[in-house]
Structure 1
Amino acid sequence: MRETCVPTGVKVKDTGFGYTLSLIGGKYKMVIMYWLSENQTVRFNELKRCIGSISFKTLSIMLKELEADGLIIRKEFPQVPPKVEYSLSERGLSLIPLLNMMCEWGEKNSLPSPALEA
């Protein structure tokens, strides 16, 4: 019998599941990690263009949180104008198989679009 990820009587936030969600949860963190995994190294404005719907402020906050959690690396180059590049850390790279599994699950289980059925 499979052991549950969240045992009875234990708060979700106190489990490995809760910890993982605290790192990658939210609207944009997994999207940012996806783009970094696809492109290895990305500058701020490139990332903004790739995601599109994210504001500059939100992107900045998400990148700072991902860096603080050790999932991405921020490399600043001492030049004018300033140049900053972002990439996944080893820790961040270790989450990519999880994101790939989520992608595969979505492809297998997504409901067909009503427009495509007509």
Structure 2
Amino acid sequence: MKIKCDSELFKINEKLYPCSTSITMDYIGGKWKTVILYHLIDGPKRYNELKKTMPVVTERTLSLQLKQLESDGIVNRKVYTTKPPLKVEYSLTDFGISLIPLLKNIAEWGNKIAEQKAKIIKVEDIKK
């Protein structure tokens, strides 16, 4: 189904979207969602593993973004309670896996821009 973005709307869960790109951005938009998803491409990660790969994100932001991705059905949160300590892993759902080609294209485009315009800063230099 292709919709005309100038004369029709999409409605998902009582929310109106003017264009299919706005649906995509509602699911994965923002500074951290795509970063989280990109790090989950290789497989499940624990919260602390994700935090280590994104040292400048706050714990609150990471937690909120993971909860949003889980509620949108993109990320699965699995709690292991069989033996202490409690273990929680995050992984992509089938819906999340469908985003991998898009995430890789976004990363590739960002790499091209970074090669042209970015200055590399080491994380440890920021923390000083």
Same fold (TM over 0.5): yes
Could you tell me which residue of structure 1 aligns to residue 98 of structure 2? 94
Distance in 1 (CA, whole Å) between partners of 2:23 and 2:116 is 33
Give me the CA root mean square deviation: 2.4
Tell me the TM-score normalised to structure 2 length: 0.75
Supply the AA of the counterpart residue of 1:101: N
Which runs of at least 4 in structure 1 moved beyond 6 Å after TM superposition?
none
Paired residue secondary structure (1:76): strand
2:5·2:18 contact (CA, 8 Å) conserved in 1?
no
Query: Which residue among 40, 44, 51 is the counterpart of 1:41?
Result: 44
Distance in 2 (CA, whole Å) between partners of 1:37 and 1:52 is 18
Query: Which residue among 53, 67, 71 is the counterpart of 1:68?
Result: 71
Query: Which residue among 42, 56, 60 is the counterpart of 1:57?
Result: 60
Unaligned runs of 5+ in 1: none
Residue identity (%): 40
Using the TM superposition, give the Cα deviation of residue 99 of structure 1 relative to its aligned residue in structure 2, in angstroms: 1.2
Unaligned runs of 5+ in 2: 10-15, 120-128
2:79·2:89 contact (CA, 8 Å) conserved in 1?
yes
Using the TM superposition, give the Cα deviation of residue 100 of structure 1 relative to its aligned residue in structure 2, in angstroms: 1.2
Could you tell me which residue of structure 1 aligns to residue 126 of structure 2? none
Supply the AA of the counterpart residue of 1:104: E
Paired residue secondary structure (1:65): helix
